[in-house]
Structure 1
């Protein structure tokens, strides 16, 4: 929250003069400057000598660490409001097993773990799963477990698919959760909260939950995550009768 990082894509190695200009600029502005000469794995810090990027979730006394190329929510204030709303809709308590799909580096997982018996997070990017594990450990949270899985593919044989859950939260990319959503009915959850950055894919997947799996759309709303743009973040609650 207190640091701004810039990643410069440099196709050619920087000259000593260019490197000095960037270092001087970083020192003058307080910016943390990274270079990316090749793919995402090549990103490295130029200045200052050390950097640790974090954002806080003060309502839960949590600090989440991330790398400059990791996916994070762009609007800190709305992110905190979004987490609080999701937890309120889920109505989690200490008896609940919770499944979070597309969990990323633990943005929802860590607050959920403070209220649940156990939270199982599933994410397609191994690097984000490692970050989620590290964030849980650094925040003293020991009731989470994580799995790497491509949720756009068949996950029927995955160990986390063999269990029953009380609550499910999913926060997929813009393409939605077309492959995964049709299997949610087998996982037992009474309440599902779906967070979406694309209303079209949310509407498509909501149709499956309501018309095929027997859930009721109980609440829905939008958040202005991206001010001054045409994009919104959406959230919907689905409930299945006991």
Structure 2
């Protein structure tokens, strides 16, 4: 009889430990302290003209579609020649292509033309960011604003378009992100021009307010992504997100 009692107690304790352990795992990362954020996503983003195909895998960390994470994928997701980096499609943690030279040439031309029109755009940009750099930025935002709020405007490491080398955040002459909340009227005017003309240089404004559900990020009038002139023109004229153009999943993280 004592033997059965001991066995029942042991099994009961094991079940309780597993249940409590599962609860801790599901809740230990839920930093839910939202706060007011200006518009600074990462002073941060990327495009297509690149190599490789797609691929994926599985692990843990910050999961994406089918459990894919920066630690498990071995190649970026490429659809019709365009690299896709979003909350469902991570880049490998060791993916480090540097700044795309074509994208840099095009953004330089865009900035030069904007300046010739007297628009408030500086030569300064925020471009390529390696995995480690993005990790530092994201962790700082989480510490300041909480994870839930940080995820609205900053990519987790391995999920940032900036890591592709195809993205630029434009900055005004006051050192502020172009057209961000609280910037001057001239900065906002320059952001308006960018929204109407970026496609002529092969860029799309990646995070428009109407794309929030598709991209998983708040509006970013300053964040442009190089995709090539033909694709950029189509996306601009149809006013669709890159996810819609590629018919690919977007939106928020799985967890």
Sort the TM-score into its range (normalised by shorter chain).
under 0.3
Return the structure number with greater helix share. Answer: 2
Structure having the higher Rg: 2
Q: Give the number of the structure with larger relative contact order, counting CA–CA contacts within 8 Å between residues 6 or more apart.
A: 2
TM-score by length of 1: 0.28
TM-score by length of 2: 0.27
